[in-house]
Amino acid sequence: MRTQVGIIGAGPAGLLLSHLLHLRGIDSVVLERRGRDQIESTIRAGVLEQGTMDTLAEAGVGERMKAEGALHHGFELAFEGKRRRIDLTALTGKSITVYAQHEVLKDLVAARVAADGKLFFDVSNTSIHGIDTASPSIRFEHADEQHELHCDYVIGCDGFHGVSRSAIPAALRQDYERVFPFGWFGILVEAPPTSDELIYARHERGFALISTRSQDVQRMYFQCDPNDAVENWSDDRIWAELHARVDSDEGHQVVEGKIFQKNIVPMRSFVSTTMQHGHLFLAGDAAHIVPPTGAKGLNLAVADVRVLTAALVAFYKESRTDLLDAYSETALRRIWRAEHFSYWMTRMMHRLDDASPFEQRLQVAELEHVTTSRAAATAMAENYVGVVAV
């Protein structure tokens, strides 16, 4: 097989890149180790920045996002028994949309199928070859047959555990990582919304997050031991923990309902540099991971894709390589900014077992500052909606 751009991974980065290239007349093939049903049913959070919303709409895949996503103009910070609102729109002129990642994937897969895009699901034994040459290839197995896809460029969008990052020689890579000693216990609940907007709660027992999926389904998290087991948490114990961490002295309470999913999410920060070598480029989780506190993961993947799309269009339409050459440097400026914001949010909102009482009071002082100072609130809002210049 032959194509212009070979893409490994049918996550948000891979599918969006394939579709944006298609709209600009550039051919691609997407390879994915999972089945279509699996990627469309694996429920993950989705807080979409303004830039992500705009990109999806411009790509023609934003109709359902606009109709079914929850447009939010702010969020609440809960601490010391009170709640204080960060007005994103008033501070930045921008907003966010809560729209689950698997719904974004459904929209992107449907768009690629409608455009007769080349998608291979359930592939295995994927390997990358010849990235130092002008004609790299991807070998893979599909439907019990061996295939080799020749292309001009290989784009690795296959996540943290994929094969793409390891195809860059270890001597040329520098990996930076921070594994946090806590995780998030997540539940899906059949219940009406607790709040019209997201609630980020800091409590001496640990962090909690209240989010909405629809008028009938809510997503809630609370900080836990990453080595804990879901079976250790009865519904009654979960609700007692969420009430303790989120209910306010002002009378606000978490709305209970039927819990129909439980899972534990580990927390890490990770960046791999460089994001390119020869004719191989990395995008999304293949190159970087952020803790979900800052709501940056999906948005960083989309930002990578915007940069890559412009670079590939410049190459194919104008025979320019300057943007491709600068891809890693360009993308990493935004990535490190988002890593810092997510790390700052995580440190401010979570119970830190190694923190002294003095440091715990500094967390509260920081929350008081960002909820009373317009300048501090604006800085937080600009980072959250993704309008910080990088």
Q: What are phi and psi of 90, to 5 degrees?
A: -65, -35
CA distance linking residue 199 with residue 293, whole number of Å: 11
Which sign does the torsion angle of CA 49, 52, 57, 58 carry? positive
Chain centroid offset of residue 137 CA: 28
**And the tokens for 222?**
């609370």
**Of 292, 316, 327, 350, which one is the catalytic site residue?**
292
Neighbours of 278 (CB within 10 A): 16
CA angle, corner 332, sides to 136 and 297, nearest 5?
90
How many CB atoms are located within 10 Å of the residue 23 CB?
15
**Is 106 noted as a catalytic residue in this protein?**
no
94 is catalytic: no
Annotated catalytic residue: which of 118, 288, 296, 350?
Answer: 296
Is 243 considered catalytic here?
no
Which of 22, 72, 94, 288 is flagged as catalytic? 72
Q: What one-character-per-residue DSSP string does 6-46 give?
A: EEE--SHHHHHHHHHHHHTT--EEEE-SS-HHHHHH-----
Active site residue 343: no
Helix H or strand E encompassing 310: helix 297-318
* DSSP β-ladder status, 217-224 and 208-212: antiparallel
Is 22 a residue of the active site? no
The number of residues making up the chain comes to 390
Strands (E), the chain: 5-8, 28-31, 47-48, 70-72, 74-79, 82-87, 96-98, 118-120, 124-129, 137-142, 145-150, 153-156, 174-190, 199-201, 208-212, 217-224, 258-273, 276-277, 280-282, 288-289
Catalytic residues: 72, 200, 292, 296, 384
